[in-house]
């Protein structure tokens, strides 16, 4: 009989707990944004229709300058990537192994979600539900999946960008920034929105690179007044970019494809994060706060990926109960948002317990050949990219589940013994 070794104690002495808190706050804030963005209720003809109550409010555009926190998430992710890559290479790991593990951490949680979407959309279509309602629900539920495509790109670029940062940090930022500007200039001058997709290669890697600088202590070495000045200048720059320039006044409107304002917002948020570090450090010195952050942080990918399906399911359940579903955008509807937030989070935590074993990496064998890792990465990237570009529907969900399954099998398979011996040699 074999016995399982006791888990090693987590060393918190070298861990910046404020970034764990920031990561959790970012994801919870995404849930809050979607709770006020998505409304489902009776339409003029009595049938159910989907609406976007928050976007109908006069304050919505201004609120997105604060509420669009995805740049901050990539800054924090860049910090984690930089420290993770250094630790990985210190232990003798290579780029293929790093990309393998990072791809698995995203592909494994995404696979059951795509399977769920394929089954639900298939059943809804077979049951003859209103096609427009099914399409609206699918588009809403799949909207956060763009993040997987962007984050997979950023993680795959970490070994290369880490080397660039180590040798030419300023030049690396300058090249990425130039790429962002050139892509936007081409997109708006030619008038082909699809050109903006090229900024997936520049905007989010550039914002992630700010996390590399954060990990190096650049923001720590700046005087607080300097950080305040940089953040204020960034927010001041957003006004001409959106009022005079070609960009949307809503930071959500600048999300896909990503644009220059998101980079500007990322710089401001990185400065604000460092300014808030003393306060966040005091918060994270409290045991209850550490417990909440670690519980939510260990389930963060589940919470992010599944929050909209759970929210839509709970909303649908409330519609079946007379008087339980207030009319979207009504006063009662706004007051019901905190209650729904607690309910969604509770269901997500319960759901995470059911699928946590599947999402865990466990023990991995030797890294497959780099070509196999690259092929698996492509299989994992294509489904969320398709959702980002064409929105979620039954074919994309079904093919996406198949591709993600292939990616997981390729990355988890063990090389043949002779190949493993040659690799070690």
Per run of 10 residues, the mean pLDDT along the chain (length 425 residues) is 41 77 95 90 70 90 94 97 95 95 95 96 90 86 94 97 97 98 95 93 98 97 98 97 94 94 98 97 95 92 93 89 85 93 95 82 86 97 96 96 97 63 40
Establish if 178 belongs to a structural domain.
yes
**pLDDT at res. 5:** 40
Q: What is the pLDDT of residue 14?
A: 66
pLDDT number for residue 6: 40
- Which domain, by its residues, includes 152? 17-321+332-415
Instruction: Quote the pTM value.
Output: 0.91
Amino acid 306: pLDDT:
95
Q: What is the pLDDT of residue 7?
A: 42
Number of domains in the chain: 1
Report if residue 1 sits inside a domain: no
Q: Classify residue 3: in a domain, yes or no.
A: no
- What integer pLDDT is reported at residue 361 of this predicted model? 76
Burial of 197 from C-beta contacts in 10 A (0-12 / 13-18 / 19+): middle
What pLDDT is stored for residue 46 in this prediction? 63
Q: Is residue 2 part of a domain?
A: no
Residue 88 lies in a domain: yes
Any domain includes 281: yes
Q: Is residue 422 part of a domain?
A: no
pLDDT at 414: 67
Structural domain contains residue 116: yes
């Amino acid at each position: 009989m074999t016995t399982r070794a006791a888990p090693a104690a987590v060393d918190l002495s070298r861990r910046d707990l404020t970034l764990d808190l920031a990561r959790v706050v970012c994801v919870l804030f995404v849930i809050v944004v979607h709770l006020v963005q998505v409304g489902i209720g009776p339409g003029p003809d009595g049938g159910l229709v989907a609406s976007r109550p928050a976007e109908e409010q006069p304050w919505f555009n201004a609120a997105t300058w604060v509420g669009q926190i995805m740049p901050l998430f990539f800054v924090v992710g860049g910090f984690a990537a930089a420290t993770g890559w250094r630790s990985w290479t210190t232990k003798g790991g290579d780029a293929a192994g790093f990309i393998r593990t990072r791809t698995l951490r995203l592909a494994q949680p995404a696979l059951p979600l795509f399977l769920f979407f394929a089954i639900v959309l298939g059943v809804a279509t077979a049951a003859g539900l209103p096609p427009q309602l099914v399409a609206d629900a699918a588009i809403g539920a799949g909207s956060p999946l763009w993040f997987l495509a962007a984050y997979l790109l950023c993680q795959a670029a970490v070994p290369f960008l880490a080397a660039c940062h180590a040798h030419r940090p300023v030049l690396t930022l300058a090249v990425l920034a130039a790429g962002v500007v050139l892509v936007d200039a081409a997109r708006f001058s030619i008038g082909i929105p699809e050109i903006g997709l090229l900024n997936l290669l520049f905007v989010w890697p550039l914002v992630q690179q700010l996390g590399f600088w954060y990990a190096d202590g650049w923001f720590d070495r700046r005087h607080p007044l300097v950080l305040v000045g940089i953040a204020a200048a960034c927010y001041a720059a957003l006004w001409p970019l959106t009022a005079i320039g070609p960009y949307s006044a809503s930071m959500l409107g600048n999300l896909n494809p990503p644009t220059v304002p998101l980079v500007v917002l990322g710089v401001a948020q990185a400065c604000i994060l460092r300014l808030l570090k003393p306060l966040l450090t005091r918060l994270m010195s409290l045991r209850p706060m550490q417990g909440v952050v670690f519980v939510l942080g260990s389930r963060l990918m589940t919470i992010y990926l599944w929050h909209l399906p759970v929210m839509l399911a709970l909303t649908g359940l409330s519609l079946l109960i007379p008087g339980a579903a207030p009319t979207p955008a009504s006063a009662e509807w706004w007051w019901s948002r905190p209650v729904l937030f607690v309910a969604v989070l509770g269901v997500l935590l319960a759901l995470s317990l059911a699928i946590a074993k599947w999402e865990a990496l466990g023990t991995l064998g030797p890294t497959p050949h780099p070509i196999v890792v690259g092929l698996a990465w492509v299989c994992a990237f294509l489904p969320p990219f398709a959702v980002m570009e064409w929105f979620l529907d039954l074919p994309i969900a079904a093919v996406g589940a198949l591709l993600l399954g292939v990616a997981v099998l390729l990355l988890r398979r063990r090389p043949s013994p002779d190949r493993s011996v040659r690799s070690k040699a």
